[in-house]
């Protein structure tokens, strides 16, 4: 199936939406590539430009490594599927709707939102001190990450207000006893933020498991490194995203179908 016929088979899908679908499907494949999945659970979403605030999220039950652009489900902020002819063939994770609708309602600057349950992310989310500035990757989040207390499985829509309040103006958040949540102005930016946060958590868990005393760099050094990360340009993000896509293009490029 080629890209043109795939797009044509989805009624009411514009060229712009199809491009977003392909990027988001690629993100699912990349999360699988880097072993950041949790079976059919967790979710990644992308907002479709427009006043309707529609966004795409995974069809519940599809493995991340097999996600295709046509598998993604377009829903509104009330959780209604707004695709022509979708019927009962598509369903979404209820907890995924709660988390992602909250962010897309409140943060129009975050076009893409990613949530994971990795072992390292969950481990750090359960540590009282949170993410420590002990690795270069962690410096990206120095004084630049939010925390949200665990309230159970995210099925209560009332939690959306607290999620948004805790996120504030940050683009990364640790969900206590739960996992990681990041957003980006593009799918590529969300990927790079998620990848960096995951690596920071992995480094922290590995360093703490050795039992030796940890080295915390001086405050001014942490602030300097954080500023360096903050100065990264959209060109840098695009360069990294193109490199990431090559990881899956040589495997199964059918994510664009």
Higher pLDDT, 144 or 7: 144
Mean pLDDT for 6-13 is 62
pLDDT in tens, 120-143: 999 999 999 999 999 999 999 999
Whether 256 is in a domain gets the answer no
State the Cα angle at 87 between 85 and 88, rounded to 5°. Answer: 150
Give the pLDDT of residue 7: 55
Q: Which domain holds residue 107?
A: 3-251
Q: Residue 167, by phi and psi: left (phi above 0), alpha (psi -120 to 50) or beta?
A: alpha
Angle 159-115-204 from CA coordinates, rounded to 5°: 110
Task: Give the C-alpha separation, 2 to 8, whole Å.
Answer: 10
- Per-residue pLDDT of 199-218, as tens digits, reads 999 999 999 999 999 999 99
Question: From residue 166, how far is each of 109, 162, 237 by CA, in Å?
Answer: 16, 6, 26
The DSSP code for 86 is -
Total domains in the chain come to: 1
Most confident of 8-12, 151-155, 185-189: 185-189
User: Which residue, among 122, 131, 171, has the nearest Cα to 150 in the 3D structure?
Assistant: 122
Mean pLDDT calculated for residue range 161-167: 96
The predicted model gives 187-205 an average pLDDT of: 98
| pTM greater than 0.75 | yes
Interval 56-96: pLDDT, tens: 999 888 999 999 999 999 999 888 888 765 555 677 877 77
Q: Give the CATH number for residue 202.
A: 3.40.225.10
pLDDT mean across residues, the chain: 90
User: What is the average pLDDT across 44-54?
Assistant: 90
Q: Are 14 and 83 in contact (CB under 8 A)?
A: no
Q: Does a structural domain hold residue 9?
A: yes
Considering the domain boundaries, does residue 139 fall inside one? Answer: yes
Query: What is the pLDDT at residue 6?
Result: 56
* Strand residue runs (E) in 48-164: 55-57, 73-75, 112-116, 146-148
- Confidence tier at 157 by pLDDT (50, 70, 90): confident
Residue 257 lies in a domain: no
DSSP 8-state secondary structure symbol assigned to residue 256? G
């Amino acid at each position: 199936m080629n890209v043109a016929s795939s797009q044509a088979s989805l009624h009411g899908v514009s060229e712009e939406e199809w491009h977003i679908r392909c990027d988001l499907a690629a993100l699912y494949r990349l999360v699988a590539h880097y072993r950041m999945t949790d079976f059919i659970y967790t979710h990644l979403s992308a907002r479709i430009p427009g006043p309707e605030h529609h966004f795409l999220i995974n069809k519940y039950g599809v493995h991340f490594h097999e996600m295709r652009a046509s598998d993604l489900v377009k829903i509104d902020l009330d959780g209604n599927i707004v695709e022509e002819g979708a019927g009962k063939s598509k369903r979404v994770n209820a907890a995924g709707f709660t988390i992602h609708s909250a962010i897309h309602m409140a943060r129009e600057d975050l076009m893409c939102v990613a949530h994971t349950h990795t072992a390292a992310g969950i481990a750090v989310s359960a540590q009282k001190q949170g993410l420590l500035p002990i690795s270069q990757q962690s410096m990206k989040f120095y004084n630049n990450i939010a925390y949200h207390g665990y309230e159970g499985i995210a099925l209560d829509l009332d939690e959306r207000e607290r999620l948004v309040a805790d996120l504030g103006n940050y683009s990364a958040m640790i969900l206590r006893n739960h996992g990681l949540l990041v957003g980006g102005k593009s799918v590529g930016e969300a990927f790079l933020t998620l990848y960096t946060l995951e690596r920071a958590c992995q480094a922290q868990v590995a360093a703490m498991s050795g039992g030796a005393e940890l080295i915390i760099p001086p405050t001014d050094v942490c602030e300097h490194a954080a500023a360096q990360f903050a100065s990264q340009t959209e060109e840098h993000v695009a360069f990294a995203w193109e490199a990431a896509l090559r990881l899956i293009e040589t495997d199964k490029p059918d994510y664009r179908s």
